[in-house]
Amino acid sequence: MSSEPTSTKPNPPERSDSSSSSSETQEIHNPVPIRPRLPNRKSSGTLIVPRDSSQVGPVEPELEPDDVRAMSPRRTSEDIEVMGREAREELHKHARALQDSLLMIFNRIEAVREEHDKLDNHNKFLQKYIGDLMSTSKITSSTRGRK
């Protein structure tokens, strides 16, 4: 029987110093990920097509019904023309409303200007009237003082 106790715990990893090998440091760090390889592409072939070929010109793609491109709205020239006409009508209505509003503001300014001129004339008349009253009251008061 030995006097040393036996332990069932594993020994903790020892720290490596600068003299240790690089294989021990590889175990501590995560491995470097490897990029997946790109799939090989097929050659697009020649882009030169004879002028008389049926391949010249736009090719209509065949789209499945559930393809997003098939669900996008396609506008014909008539649709675009109608949309343009409606936009022009809306712009015309908006411009007309702005012109009417401007005309109302102009008319209101003219009415206020006329009212101002009228009140200004009344004010001048009253000032002249009061001045005349003051001058006549001075004349009458000075003639009474002499008697």
The pLDDT, as a whole number, for residue 55 is: 67
Helix (H, G, I), strand (E, B) or coil at 81: helix
The pLDDT, as a whole number, for residue 108 is: 97
Whole-model pTM: value is 0.40
pLDDT of 89-117, one tens digit each? Answer: 999 999 999 999 999 999 999 999 999 99
Q: For residues 7 and 86, what is the distance between their CA atoms, to the nearest angstrom?
A: 90
pLDDT of 64-84, one tens digit each? Answer: 777 776 666 777 888 889 999
Q: What percent of the chain has pLDDT over 70?
A: 67
Contact 49, 56 (CB under 8 A): yes
- In 85-100, which positions are buried (b, 16+ CB within 10 angstroms) versus exposed (e)? eeeeeeeeeeeeeeee
